[in-house]
Amino acid sequence: MMKKILELKDIKKKFQNKDVHKGISFSLFKGETVGLLGYSGAGKSVLLRSIIGLEEIDSGQILYNDQKIDHLDENELNKIRQRISYSFQSGALFDSMNVFENIAFPLFEHTILSEHEIDLKVSQVLNLIGLKDAKELMPSDLSGGMQKRVGLARAMILDPEIILYDEPTAGLDPVNIEIILNIMQNFKKRGFSGIFVTHDIPAAKKVCDRLLILKDGKIHFDGSPNDFDKSQDEYIRTFSMSC
């Protein structure tokens, strides 16, 4: 039996008078990568942000390893954010820091590693993302694809158990998309879990064990890529052809 690492139970979230989530429930199992798809404005980013407490849900429950993590205080949220990391839709790098400093930042903040150990760890991750010569470069010197890779490296540096990928491949050329998908697959091979928000259905099918389709504030579809292809549901058919 696979272990549930994350569970969302009947999540509801409203902005002013707009209901974004009207009762979202699903589980993420250990070692699994799940694709979260839906049209622009469906509430994908808000859902990822809610998981790590960057948005406050109105009702429902979020469990991480069976422990309730919604409505925690900042101190407790900080601990959760070391285990569940969010790779921002924009790279969200610190403009005034170089690549090394950007990636090392969480290590300086959250660990007691020595400078030498931090240097080693950052070098390993830079090798993994194919940017070992970019240490000294500033974010403004990097292409969009490189910035996304550095953002992903920063999300991985604390060895989280779960990564929430918010459109990590959007706007990239095919070569950079392949690099990012490989990084995600390697993370998965090491036994970790992920939620992959994307508009790229072929990419989602490639990396994900399961696809979730968000529609009208609810999970309209939850199944394997194969189930998705075979689905006779009219909405799913239209959706799969529109992306």
Which option in ligand ATP, Mg ion, none does residue 57 bind, with CB closer than 5 to 8 A by kind? none
Work out which of 9, 12, 25, 46 binds ligand ATP, going by CB under 6 A. 46
Residue 237 token pair = 């058919």
Distance CA 77, CA 95 (A): 25
CB of 233 to ligand ATP, least distance (A): 20
Quickly count: other Cβ atoms within 10 Å of residue 148's Cβ. Answer: 30
**Nearest to ligand ATP of 42, 184 (CB atom):** 42
Distance CA 109, CA 193 (A): 24
45 binds ligand ATP (CB under 6 A): yes
* Part in contact with ligand ATP (CB under 6 A); list of ranges 3-11, 33-41, 131-139, 221-229: 33-41
- Number of helices (H), then strands (E), belonging to the chain: the values are 9, 10
Which option in ligand ATP, Mg ion, none does residue 42 bind, with CB closer than 5 to 8 A by kind? ligand ATP
Long-range contact set of residues 52-55: C-beta below 8 Å, sequence gap at least 24: 52/77, 52/80, 52/81, 52/84, 52/85, 52/86, 52/164, 53/77, 53/80, 53/81, 54/86, 55/13
44 binds ligand ATP (CB under 6 A): yes
15 binds ligand ATP (CB under 6 A): yes
Which option in ligand ATP, Mg ion, none does residue 40 bind, with CB closer than 5 to 8 A by kind? ligand ATP
Contact 201, 213 (CB under 8 A): no
Angle ∠(183,2,193) on CA atoms, nearest 5? 20
CB of 198 to Mg ion, least distance (A): 10
* Part in contact with ligand ATP (CB under 6 A); list of ranges 43-51, 110-118, 150-158, 174-182: 43-51
Distance CA 59, CA 151 (A): 31
Residue 205 token pair = 């099918």
CB of 242 to Mg ion, least distance (A): 17
Work out which of 40, 75, 96, 232 binds ligand ATP, going by CB under 6 A. 40
45 binds Mg ion (CB under 5 A): yes
43 binds ligand ATP (CB under 6 A): yes
102 binds Mg ion (CB under 5 A): no
Pairing state of beta strands 84-87 and 162-166?
parallel
Where does this chain bind ligand ATP (CB under 6 A)? 15, 20, 38, 40-46
